[in-house]
């Protein structure tokens, strides 16, 4: 069977962005939340009819009396979570990112963010992690949420990020939004000298020619692309920025401020996400540095199989390598 045929028969709904044979961890968010609840009686879990599809079912099975199923009512989900936080509980409320950002924005803004409550929103299917098309692809969620005061935004790379982020999100002051990777999630960052620190970026590898600044699953692709570019005698540094807001400009700009090509990589539209966050920091610091974005286009995306869509829209490792080589040849 050819590669093209395999792509056509890949399920658009259940396909993972993990590579064949890659190490994965099952439901890291659900297991991390259940483990945290063993140590902290304040932890509660809520969902809007999407427990299985946001890995909240793991928590529900472990702590059934602390799990609340709100049905298909995202506004109610956030309102209920706000009420729980008001009385001292620490809620994690899960739904799809499109519903959190588009359908329930006002409730998150006024019920949770304005009073600065410790409510943790968990958004499934961020960016291009489903083939279901625009109704389910939250390609603009970061752009929508970046302007909301008090809201912390986390875009994890892998299972390591998620497992380490959960207790830090619970301990953080004010509301948070986690771009959830669910199901069989790649395990990548344990091979590096890395620990998730809320609000901090991390240099995963050094390089003399190119600087990748990446977040989310695109950090995994950045590391893969860096290895492949080494075969072309291109030395690539990778800076992982799992916290989009507040942004660790100090760490990022220390790497950007050089004569190397700077490339941002994100699983999000080119509008309002990591690229514009980095570009804004560069301009504010007066660096006068060109930044090249690798991101989703400013358009509604097609439905289809994830491997095909990632190639079409520039998120696949091979397309990243081709883009960088082209920039270096300019």
Structure tokens at 316: 């696949």
Distance CA 55, CA 28 (A): 8
Q: Can you give the pLDDT at residue 5?
A: 39
Q: Is the pLDDT of residue 39 over 50?
A: yes
Q: What is the pLDDT of residue 15?
A: 58
Which residue intervals of the chain are DSSP H helices? Answer: 3-9, 28-39, 56-62, 74-86, 97-98, 105-107, 141-145, 159-171, 217-230, 249-256, 274-285, 306-312, 317-328
Gap between the Cα atoms of 305 and 15, Å rounded: 7
Q: How far apart are CA 267 and CA 274, in angstroms?
A: 9
Q: What is the pLDDT of residue 12?
A: 47
Predicted confidence (pLDDT) per residue in 197-219, tens digit: 999 999 999 999 999 999 999 99
Higher pLDDT, 21 or 245: 245
Non-local CB neighbours of 136 within 8 Å, separated by 6+ positions = 96, 98, 125, 130
Q: Are residues 153 and 260 in the same domain?
A: no
Assess if residue 246 is contained within a domain: yes
pLDDT for 1: 38
In a domain, 128, yes or no: yes
- Give the per-residue pLDDT at 131: 93
Same domain? For 58 and 172 the reply is yes
pLDDT at 9 (0 to 100): 41
**What pLDDT score was predicted for residue 20?**
87
* pTM score of the predicted model: 0.95
Residues 303 and 241 in one domain: yes
Establish if 13 belongs to a structural domain.
no
Contact predicate 155/242, CB 8 Å: yes
Asked whether residue 46 falls in the same domain as residue 94, the answer is: yes
CATH code, domain carrying 213? 3.40.50.920
Question: Would you state the structure tokens that stand for residue 140, as one six-digit string?
Answer: 């603009």
Strands 90-96 and 152-154: unpaired
Residue 192 lies in a domain: no
CB atoms < 10 A from the CB of 11, how many?
Answer: 10
How close are the terminal C-alpha atoms of the chain, in Å?
Answer: 38
Range of the domain at 240: 199-327
15 contacts 306 by C-beta, under 8 angstroms: yes
Instruction: Give the end of a domain, one of 186, 211, 241.
Output: 186
Confidence of residue 260 (pLDDT cuts 50, 70, 90): very high
Does the residue 287 lie in any domain? yes
Is residue 89 located within the same domain as residue 137?
Answer: yes
Q: Is residue 241 part of a domain?
A: yes
Structural domain contains residue 17: no
Coil vs helix vs strand at 187:
coil
- Percent of the chain at pLDDT > 70 equals 95
Based on the fold, state whether residues 225 and 307 are members of the same structural domain.
Answer: yes
Per-residue model confidence (pLDDT) at position 3: 42
Please indicate, yes or no, whether residues 155 and 282 belong to a single structural domain of this protein: no
Write down the number of H helices and E strands in the chain.
13, 14
Report the percent of the chain where pLDDT is more than 90. 93
Residues forming beta bridges with residue 68, ordered by sequence position: 46
Q: How many CB atoms lie within 10 A of CB 192?
A: 15
pLDDT digits (tens, 9 = 90+) for 243-256: 999 999 999 999 99
15 occurs within a structural domain: no
Answer yes or no: do 219 and 75 share one domain. no
Q: Which helix (H) or strand (E) holds 314?
A: none
Residue 114 has pLDDT above 70, yes or no: yes
**CATH code for the domain in which residue 80 is found:** 3.40.50.970
**pLDDT, tens digit (0-9, with 9 covering 90-100), for 153-180:** 999 999 999 999 999 999 999 999 999 9
Q: 139 near 296, Cβ under 8 Å?
A: yes
Pick from 186, 218, 242: which residue ends a domain? 186
Q: Choose the final residue of a domain: 186, 209, 239.
A: 186
Asked whether residue 29 falls in the same domain as residue 115, the answer is yes
Task: Judge contact between 217 and 17, C-beta under 8 A.
Answer: yes
Edge to edge, the sheet with strand 243-245 lists 67-69, 43-47, 90-96, 120-124, 176-179, 152-154, 243-245
Residues 152 and 238 in one domain: no
Total tally of structural domains belonging to the chain: 2
Task: Please give the average per-residue pLDDT across 300-316, as a whole number.
Answer: 95
211 and 92, same domain (yes or no): no
Please check whether residue 266 is in contact with residue 216, taking contact to mean a CB–CB distance below 8 angstroms: yes
DSSP 38-77: HH-TTEEEEESS-TGGGTHHHHHHH-GGGEEE--S-HHHH
- Spatial CA neighbour of 100 closest among 155, 146, 43, 141: 141
3-class state of residue 210 by DSSP = strand
Instruction: Residue 22: count other Cβ atoms within 10 Å of its Cβ.
Output: 14
Considering the domain architecture, whether residues 175 and 217 belong to the same structural domain is answered as no
């Amino acid at each position: 069977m050819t590669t093209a045929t395999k792509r056509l028969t890949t399920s658009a709904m259940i396909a993972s962005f993990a590579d064949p044979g890659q190490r994965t961890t099952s439901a890291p968010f659900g297991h991390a939340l259940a483990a945290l609840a063993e140590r902290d009686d304040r932890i509660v879990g809520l969902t809007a009819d999407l427990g299985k599809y946001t890995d909240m079912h793991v928590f529900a099975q472990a702590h059934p009396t602390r799990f609340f199923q709100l049905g298909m009512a995202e506004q109610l989900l956030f309102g209920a979570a706000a009420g729980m936080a008001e009385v001292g509980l620490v809620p994690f409320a899960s739904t799809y990112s499109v519903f959190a950002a588009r359908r329930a924005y006002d409730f998150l803004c006024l019920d949770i963010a304005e009073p600065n409550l410790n409510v943790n929103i968990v958004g499934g299917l961020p960016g291009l992690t489903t083939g279901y098309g625009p109704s389910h692809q939250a390609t603009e969620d970061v752009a929508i949420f970046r302007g909301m005061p008090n809201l912390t935004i986390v875009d994890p790379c892998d299972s390591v990020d998620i497992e380490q982020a959960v207790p830090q999100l619970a301990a953080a002051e004010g509301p948070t939004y986690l771009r959830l990777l669910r199901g069989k999630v790649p395990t990548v960052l344990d091979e590096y000298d890395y620990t998730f620190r809320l609000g901090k970026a991390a240099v995963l590898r050094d390089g003399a020619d190119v600087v990748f600044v990446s977040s989310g699953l695109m950090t995994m692709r950045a590391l893969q692309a860096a290895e492949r570019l080494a075969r072309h005698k291109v030395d690539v540094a990778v800076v992982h920025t799992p916290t989009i807001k507040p942004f660790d400009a100090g760490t990022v700009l220390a790497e950007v401020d050089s004569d190397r090509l700077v490339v941002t990589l994100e699983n999000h539209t080119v509008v309002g996400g990591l690229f514009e966050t980095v570009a804004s920091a560069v301009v504010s610091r007066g660096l006068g540095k060109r930044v090249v974005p690798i991101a989703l286009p400013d358009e509604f995306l097609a439905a289809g199989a994830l491997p095909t869509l990632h190639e079409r829209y520039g998120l696949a490792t091979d397309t990243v390598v081709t883009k960088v080589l082209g920039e270096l040849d300019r």
